[in-house]
Amino acid sequence: MPRARSQQVSLSDTPYYHCISRCVRRAFLCGEDSLTGKSFEHRRGWIEARILFLAEVFSIDICAYAVMSNHLHIVLHVDEKQTKNWSTHEVLRRWHSLHKGTLFTQQYAHGDIMPAYAIELAERSAEAYRERLSDISWFMRELNEPIARQANAEDECTGRFWEGRFKSQALLDEASVLACMAYVDLNPIRANIAATPETSDFTSIKKRVEYAKEITQSKALYPFIGNEHKDKNEGILFKLTDYLQLVDMTGRIARQDKRGSIDLSLSPILQRLGVTSENWLTIAINFEQNTHGVVGQENSITRYKNAQPRSRPNKRCCHLLA
């Protein structure tokens, strides 16, 4: 039986999550159908654009994403504190960019004169919206439902576009976050639809590389801020240049089918993460097959289990051992 979403997402344990959505029957409802030759490639553009738009609306950052022909991967960072600092007007502005809201929230947002009971109702609605704007389930709902409606309208049909619930994994520490991001960014290469990270369409790695050429970082993606900014909580505590090197070298090893060896240039980075090269390759190349609901190093998994005394230990959790 699948676990309740409230049990899968625990922001007190980690703000990082890997989410996966698949098309119904894993059909090629995006990309190009090899059987009919019909191209749905433009729908991958719809999904990428929607992801980047939602990043501007929600208090949820995009660490990595890859839009494939029949599924999508996305690594999210939830910034719950940010929503608490938003004014009621800011919450309504963001929510109204997605939905109309209510008559009272529209009047409140426009600064209309309102009776006291209407103001109270508008503020209650705003508080509900505030919670939704830092909720992964709402983020995935706002991502998937509009795409399904667009695709069904284009196909002149009804019915499901996506499979049921999206899958989510908690990423407990820096090593698991980076391993998952590398796995996501390398999806097109493993699928043989791209030769290099910088030519992998509809991925976060391509966007990061494009901005890196301009010696900057994309504002739409959660930034790398380096280890020297450990006192801040505004990005990934890793250098962008190191991450690009990590992805490139992991991709080279995966394509050359050399799991038993690793390029020496990776060693310093992995040493800082506290992960052996063998385990890095096992996880970063086959993340989904080798991991389940919770991913992290052994000490992170132990802390997670101890913080949830009512839950039975999950033997299927994957440890990234030192």
pLDDT tens-digit profile of 239-291?
888 898 888 888 877 555 544 333 545 555 566 666 676 776 666 666 766 66
Task: Mark residue 213 as left, alpha or beta (left: phi above 0; alpha: psi -120 to 50; beta: remaining).
Answer: alpha
Domain ranges of the chain: 9-79+135-319, 84-132
Q: Indicate if the pLDDT at residue 313 is higher than 50.
A: no
| 8 A C-beta contact, residue 88 and residue 123 | yes
Percent of the chain's residues with pLDDT above 90: 49
pLDDT at position 294, please? 78
Integer CA distances (angstroms), 191 to 37, 80, 297, in order: 18, 35, 28
Higher pLDDT among residues 135 and 250, named by residue = 135
Higher pLDDT among residues 260 and 146, named by residue = 146
- In angstroms and rounded to an integer, the radius of gyration of the C-alpha atoms of the chain is 21
pLDDT-derived band at 5, boundaries 50, 70, 90: low
Torsion of CA 172, 174, 178, 179, to 10 degrees: -60
| 8 A C-beta contact, residue 224 and residue 205 | no
Q: What's the rounded Cα separation, in Å, for the pair 201 and 247?
A: 15
DSSP code string of 77-115: EE-HHHHHHS-HHHHHHHHHTT----HHHHHHHHT----
pLDDT at position 8, please? 62
For residue range 29-51, list pLDDT tens digits in order: 777 777 777 788 899 999 999 99
For residue range 67-121, list pLDDT tens digits in order: 998 999 999 999 999 999 999 999 999 999 999 999 999 999 999 999 999 999 9
Higher pLDDT among residues 233 and 124, named by residue = 124
Give the number of other CB atoms < 10 A from CB of residue 262.
19
pTM for this prediction: 0.83
- The CATH homologous superfamily to which domain 9-79+135-319 belongs is Transposase IS200-like (3.30.70.1290)
For residue range 167-218, list pLDDT tens digits in order: 999 999 888 999 999 999 999 988 888 888 888 999 999 999 888 888 788 8
pLDDT at position 288, please? 66
Percent of the chain's residues with pLDDT above 70: 77
